[in-house]
Structure 1
Amino acid sequence: MLEDFGYSHVFIKKSHHFYGAIAEDFLYEGDGILKDLEHQIERFAILDDNNIMDSIRLFYTFNANVIPVINKNEKYLGYITCDDIFQNFSRYPLFSESGAILTIETPARKYSMTEIANIVESNNSKFYGGFITFMSDEVIHVTIKISNENLSSIDATFDRYDYRIVEKYYSDEKSDLFKDRFGFFQKFIEI
């Protein structure tokens, strides 16, 4: 079954209640019955009334591509897969809208998602969403997705507010202009 569907775990239930999960690697260890693998059973699941975002931590922690869904009485209800999560996320503007992606750095004590969104929106651009991609006691990196309007003025405003742009995934008009001028300058020197 694991090979047919490509799942990382098999779920075990006893009288319709979730008992645990066994990773694919452990199923190939020996020839025997499930009772022999009882020490390899992992207990992880998501409750049916949890937010789908809660499952992401479980996918990562248990190196799984499938998560069991249970109710408060631990009755097994079904499962969700990584594909289910990707399909759900693809509906959100953060992922579905085209736009520019920036990763900015700010001191941890100064971090404010409200201020970041205000900087974008005060430059007549749309803020589609953002998330923290790195966090330490000193600095925080926030990756944001914004519409493609007024990108140079947004860059300049972030600079004025002491945010450092760590990465950007869009064509920067100012940078392109400098490259063109540098190219012209090199041609001038060659003459």
Structure 2
Amino acid sequence: MDQEITIDVSGVSGQRGPADHKRRQQILQAADEHFRLYGYRKTTLADIAKAINLSTPYLYKFFDSKQAIGEAICSHCLGTILTEVEQSIAATRSPVEKMRRVFIGLESRGWRLLNEQRKMHDLVSASFEEGWGSLDRFKEAVFQIIRRIVVQGRESGEFERKTPLEETCRTIARMTELFFHPTLLEQAGKSQEEEAVAAANVVIRSLTA
């Protein structure tokens, strides 16, 4: 990291000891730097401990495994994506445009992560492969954003009201995964912005039919 930040570990599995302990943040800071330089899979607990002059067993006072550290940092990384999406949709009042910006924002941030922060992309990839809780919380947050937009659109009369709300929103949320899933982005090998816009337009047409 270029500067120190506080990584919120609330709700993250595998945490031990006081959540706001200064030493926890030092460990997370060291882990974040190692993950960015060498990757999550190549970094060991011994590497993290050595970076801040601690013994490896001491880390277990705060985390029950390397994955617990990885989940905390992954949760923070995914949280920054959500923040950017929220800021983008807050800039418009139109539910139609908000929905479009969700698709575009998730694709854009996922593509940037792959190209500009490859090691962090690999960390997110590990969360998909191993089914981490940080990923589940991210997906649920995306669903809640979409649900909020659909409700707003229905209340304003811009979106239809016939289809079940939960079913509609869950389906749309699953569609967005096509544009932030790390493996799919790698396989595509190029920006999927046009595809994200096209998918958003299909969703919008179905909502306004």
Query: TM-score by structure 1 length?
Result: 0.25
Q: Rg bigger for which structure?
A: 1
* Relative contact order, higher structure (CA 8 A, sep 6+): 2
**Between structures 1 and 2, the one with greater helix share:** 2
Query: TM-score by structure 2 length?
Result: 0.24
